[in-house]
């Protein structure tokens, strides 16, 4: 028993020495890691060698203890078992502690490196999104620009095509005049003003491309708005209407429509009745004066366009279309009525028809152009004081009824006669009584500033006498009559209507 005990003690001492060696090895390794004097590879190798040695010693001691224990079969086996268990647990704690000590920094490094790599990956993932967003925005802008340009070009091409081909334009024939020395720019603007083309730039471009911009021939040419550019240029570069067929016609100031129509028929231009019918249709030629024309709802008007045949010298052609004759006359009227005249008319709160009607009366009543503003002032003063002077009482209106309306009417229409006779109607007559010239029109727009309400004209000399009162007016009549030896009537025998404005000397 003593020998057995000695053996057991030897085994325990050997185990304690083995644990001390392991503890010293562990402390050595920890000191090496703390001082960072040994590399990881060397530490790993030392751990491996010491673990192998400890394992070998433990195995030897364990085998010896097991042999002794089997021989003795005593209760000392328990201390040996507990000692071995403590040894194993100690080894396990040492091993796990050493591994945890070694692995923890590596895990933290791995976590940091993973976070860094994730951040880099996130940046890499975000950057393509920004790039894709910017690329998409640029693509959208580019598409919008392309669409806008396409729509604009399409509109320009369509507009150019319609104008170039005359699509949807009037088929009415128009006479245009190419002035001598006119450039393609002048001609293009003239065609636009006459309503033949819409865009002068397109016409100039087409003419230059076709190399016809220097081939236009001066003179009158018949064209239509529905002509294609090619046909239109061909008409303007062809010979003008022959001068051999031209007819020069002069309409004097104060002429009436029937008188003008008769002159046209005598000269062989067109039929008189056809001209009057065409002129009174008041077709829309796209002229400025048309914007100021009345609706002709007044059924009392005899000739709707009386007063708009501007007195001038015109060049027509034999057997000319009445419609083309009307166009030429009305274009001339439109050119004479300026923007300043329209502005003055509006400031006086007068319509274009009012101006023409008054101007026709002034044209017939005034002996000279110098007297026209004075005559106009008499009519305008009466119109402003209509309570005192309800009637204009112009002899020229009565003459128009007798000489113009009655011969051209199939049956008596007293209402129509009264609407024109200013001895019967109040205010202005229903329509103009002739076609006034520019002097008479300007006289109405710019009358003299007077207090005259009467005038009396010497038709032989053209002299006109003006008066503010009825007594002065009677004295003027006596003055003219005495000149020609006419007996003066007593004042009591004169007309009781003191609004009489004019009296003609028949001698």
Average pLDDT in the chain: 77
pLDDT tens for residues 331-352?
999 999 999 999 999 999 999 9
Mean pLDDT of 230-241: 85
- Residue 504 pLDDT exceeds 90: no
Instruction: Judge if pTM exceeds 0.85.
Output: no
Mean pLDDT of 400-410: 93
Mean pLDDT of 287-309: 83
pLDDT of the residue at 505:
42
Pick from 301, 294, 319: nearest CA to 257 = 301
Residue 218 structure tokens = 């001066």
- Residue 102 pLDDT exceeds 50: no
Which residues lie closer than 8 Å to 8 by C-beta, 6 or more apart?
65, 68, 76, 79, 80
* Cβ atoms of residues 464 and 457 within 8 Å: yes
pLDDT tens for residues 62-92?
555 555 555 544 444 444 444 444 445 545 4
* Cβ atoms of residues 382 and 499 within 8 Å: yes
- Residue 291 pLDDT exceeds 70: yes
* Cβ atoms of residues 401 and 417 within 8 Å: yes
pLDDT of the residue at 460:
83
- Residue bearing the bigger pLDDT, 256 or 3: 256
pLDDT of the residue at 457:
87
pLDDT tens for residues 271-285?
999 999 999 986 677
Burial of 129: CB neighbours in 10 Å, binned 0-12, 13-18, 19+: exposed
Say whether 249 sits in a helix, a strand or coil: strand
Give start and end residues of each alpha helix (H) in 166-211. Answer: 184-193, 200-209
pLDDT of the residue at 60:
52
pLDDT of the residue at 140:
83
> pLDDT category, 8, cuts 50, 70, 90?
low
Kindly compute the dihedral angle of the four CA atoms of residues 442, 443, 448, 453, in this order, to the nearest 10 degrees: -150
Based on DSSP, count helices (H) and strands (E) in the chain, helices before strands.
16, 6
> pLDDT category, 221, cuts 50, 70, 90?
confident
pLDDT of the residue at 286:
79
Residue 42 structure tokens = 């060397």
CA–CA distance, 52 with 507 (Å, rounded to integer): 165
pLDDT of the residue at 193:
83
- Residue 425 pLDDT exceeds 50: yes
| DSSP-assigned letters across all residues of 23-56 | HHHHHHHHHHHHHT-S-HHHHHHHHHHHHHHHHH
pLDDT of the residue at 263:
96
């Amino acid at each position: 028993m003593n020998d057995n005990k000695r053996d057991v003690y030897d085994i325990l001492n050997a185990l304690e020495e083995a644990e001390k060696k392991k503890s010293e090895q562990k402390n050595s390794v920890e000191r090496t890691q703390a001082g960072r004097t040994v590399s990881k590879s060397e530490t790993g190798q030392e751990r491996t060698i010491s673990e192998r040695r400890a394992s070998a010693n433990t195995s030897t001691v364990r085998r010896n203890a097991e042999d002794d224990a089997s021989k003795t079969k005593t209760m000392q086996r328990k201390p040996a078992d507990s000692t071995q268990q403590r040894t194993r647990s100690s080894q396990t704690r040492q091993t796990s502690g050493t591994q945890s000590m070694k692995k923890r920094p590596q895990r933290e490094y791995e976590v940091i490196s993973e976070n860094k790599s994730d951040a880099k990956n996130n940046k890499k993932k975000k950057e393509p999104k920004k790039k894709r967003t910017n690329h998409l925005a640029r693509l959208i802008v580019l598409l919008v620009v392309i669409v806008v340009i396409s729509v604009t070009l399409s509109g320009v091409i369509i507009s150019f095509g319609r104008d170039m081909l005359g699509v949807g334009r009037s088929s009415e024939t128009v006479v245009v005049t190419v002035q001598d020395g006119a450039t393609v720019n002048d001609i293009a603007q003239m065609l636009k003003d006459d309503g033949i083309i819409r865009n002068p730039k397109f016409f100039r471009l087409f003419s230059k491309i076709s190399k016809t911009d220097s081939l236009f021939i001066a003179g009158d040419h018949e064209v239509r708005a529905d002509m294609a550019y090619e046909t239109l240029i061909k008409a303007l570069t062809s010979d003008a209407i022959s001068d051999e067929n031209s007819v020069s016609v002069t309409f004097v100031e104060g002429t009436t429509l029937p008188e003008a129509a008769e002159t046209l028929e005598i000269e062989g231009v067109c039929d008189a009745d056809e001209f009057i019918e065409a002129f009174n249709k008041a077709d829309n030629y796209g002229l400025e004066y048309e914007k100021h024309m009345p609706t002709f709802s007044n059924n009392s008007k005899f000739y709707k366009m009386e007063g708009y045949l501007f007195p001038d010298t015109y060049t027509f052609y034999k057997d000319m279309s009445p419609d083309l004759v009307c166009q030429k006359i009305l274009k001339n009227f439109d050119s004479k009525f300026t923007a300043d005249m329209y502005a003055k008319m509006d400031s006086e709160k007068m319509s274009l028809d009012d101006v023409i009607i008054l101007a026709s009366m002034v044209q017939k009543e005034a002996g000279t152009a110098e007297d026209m503003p004075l005559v106009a002032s008499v009519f305008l003063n009466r119109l402003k004081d209509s309570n005192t002077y309800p009637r204009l009482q112009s002899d020229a209106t009565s003459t128009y009824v007798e000489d113009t309306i009655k011969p051209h009417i199939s049956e008596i229409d007293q209402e129509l006669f009264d609407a024109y006779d200013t001895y019967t109607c109040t205010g202005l007559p229903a329509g103009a009584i002739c076609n006034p010239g520019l002097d008479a029109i300007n006289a109405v727009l710019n009358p003299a500033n007077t207090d005259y309400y009467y005038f009396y004209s010497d038709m032989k000399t053209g002299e006109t006498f003006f008066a503010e009162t009825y007594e002065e007016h009677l004295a003027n009549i006596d003055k003219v009559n005495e000149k020609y030896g006419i007996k003066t009537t007593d004042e009591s025998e004169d007309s009781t209507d003191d609004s009489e404005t004019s009296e003609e000397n028949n001698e």
